[in-house]
Amino acid sequence: FWILIIALILRLIHPLLRFSPSNYALIYAALMVAVVLPSMGFGGYFIPLIAGVFYYATPENNWSDLIWPHIPAWAAPRDLESIRQLFEGANAGTPVPWSLWAGPLLWWGLFMLAFFFVSVALISLVHHQWSRQERLVYPLAAVPNLLLDSLENPSRSILKNKLLWFGFFAAWILPTMNMLDQVFDFEIIQGFSIPGYSIEFRKIGLSYGLNTDLLVVGLSYLVNLNVLFSVWFFHLVIAAESALLNWLGIALPLPAQPHAPNNVLLAHQQVGSLLGIVAISVWISRDFLRRQWRQIAAGGRDSTNPISPRFAALLGLIGLVYMTGFLYQCGLSMIWSIVFLLTALLFFFAIARLLAQTGIGRLRAPTSVPPVLTNIFGTAPFGAQGLTAMGLSMVWTADLQLFLMGTLAHAFKVCEPTRLRISGRKLVFFLTGAMVVGLLTTVCSYIWLGYRHGLIHGYSWYFVSSPQYHWSWVANSINNPNPAQGLAIIFLLIGVGLTGLLSLAQYRFAGWPLHPVGLGVALTNTVVIDWFGIFLAWLIKLVVLRYGGISLYRLLLPFFIGLILGTSVGIGGASLVYAFYYY
């Protein structure tokens, strides 16, 4: 938003200062890569997990015997005193031991670069199918595309619409007033927020939150009605299923599963739905994928692809080889390294597709990858070495909420070659540069801040709770091995079957109201928090289309775009004020 404002001002000053729309799109694409790295996509788990397994080891948890011997020397630093200083802060004047971290940073950095190449390859190969053939909505790319239109043709900019600014200020004022309250302690505006309530059925332990987020309302207004209905309807139904199963005592006798809902069986049901969605997506695009394969074999350019298929396949192959070798060196056998990698990529691919359909910005997988495999195959095939390798993989597969495939899908949507003249090689070069700069900035910042201030004084989830949460699962799995869980497999198959039936009904019956997308995300924390906002947007859009038709929908669209833009600018501006005020 601010880059656009500056670009429009420069354009008024002198024609030579005009900002190219292609450069604007490239900046957005680079941000979509860089935004993944500092927090949930990598940095928030990387340093705390590979160092926290040593810092949080105690005689009681016995990690030094259960886990330490299985961690490769190249994957994590071993100097216990230096790790203590990282978490608690070093004495003034003590230099940061960069040499201690050089090896792990190199190998993990190359791993993330390989993961980036695989993500670029997969998303670029299906982009035209998703964007042009199936016409997925990409709600998260709507505002960037409209801002790009404003730069290309300022005379018809959506920023001239009064409804947009009404929605903008309605959403902007909430985070701004909260910031003023916290920073300046204005009593007149204390507690300025939209209140949240809940509906509870205490006898069976069922509750539905009624939180409202204007950003969610704005984004959801752009989504198809059947997709919106599916998300909130299946949340209500499957939350009731979860409460009923818990009430009846139907659950798996397993330790806490990382990032799973209260009933682990329903995590597997949602995983089954995700796998079904991937299978259906591949089946729908089978003709398109055949053409892509022929282009990979024959070479040549294709104007519909952000990157040439052969170049994308080469990038993907390089990335897959390195990622598989990395997992093998961590301690998984070659077969299990391939199975683990393919399972993780299926998760990421499915959530990226749902992200493009639903616009739920904080969308995440129903659970992390390691417990799914141990529940389906048991822990015995992996052993302590393999389970520890899975613990290390939690760096990139634990909290699948912010990840490269999802952000790259939207980067390619804004940089489409049919609209902007951006060569595929230039795009990859620019994105790779953003990836490298983001990686270096992230890891160096975390390490420097740790030794200067102590990581345990930062965000408690990343630096205190998360290492204990994830490594405790590994230790429990080693101490208490479990066989394959037949009930988990049954619920996974139920998820696959329900998704297949809903897809068949959608294909056979015109106007079928339920989309299978809701089955895969019904109990993720994002939907649990935001379902009511999605419901409100569905209700508003239903009424608008029923009584005003598409013309009224388009007339009101700028207001909802304003909600998205106002929330983003408000929270971003408040964050800058917090940063300057507190630091």
Q: What is the pLDDT of residue 237?
A: 95
Distance between CA atoms of residues 540 and 559, nearest Å = 13
Amino acid occupying residue 308: S
Residues in the chain with pLDDT values less than 70: 186-196, 300-302, 583
Q: What is the pLDDT of residue 186?
A: 63
CA-based max dimension of the chain = 72
- In the numeric block, the tokens 């350019």 are attached to 301
Distance between CA atoms of residues 521 and 223, nearest Å = 16
Judge residue 52's burial from the number of C-beta atoms within 10 Å of its C-beta, 0-12 exposed, 13-18 middle, 19 or more buried: buried
- Phi/psi of residue 207, each to 5°? -145, 150
- Phi/psi of residue 261, each to 5°? -70, 175
Paired tokens of 86? 């990282």
Q: What is the pLDDT of residue 582?
A: 74
Q: Which contiguous run of DSSP H or E holds residue 180? A: helix 162-184
Q: What is the pLDDT of residue 307?
A: 87
Beta strands in 64-135 (DSSP E): none
What Cα–Cα distance (Å) separates residue 264 from each residue in 125, 271, 526? 34, 11, 17
Distance between CA atoms of residues 438 and 444, nearest Å = 10
Q: What is the pLDDT of residue 194?
A: 60
Q: What is the pLDDT of residue 127?
A: 92
- 526, 360 in Cβ contact below 8 A? yes
Amino acid occupying residue 142: A
- Cβ neighbors of 282 (< 8 A, separation 6 or more) are 289
- 530, 360 in Cβ contact below 8 A? yes
Paired tokens of 51? 């160092």
Q: What is the pLDDT of residue 354?
A: 93
Q: What is the pLDDT of residue 563?
A: 96
Distance between CA atoms of residues 128 and 294, nearest Å = 16
Q: Which of 345, 262, 214 is nearest to 523 (CA)?
A: 262
Q: What is the pLDDT of residue 188?
A: 52
Name the 3-class secondary structure at 240.
helix
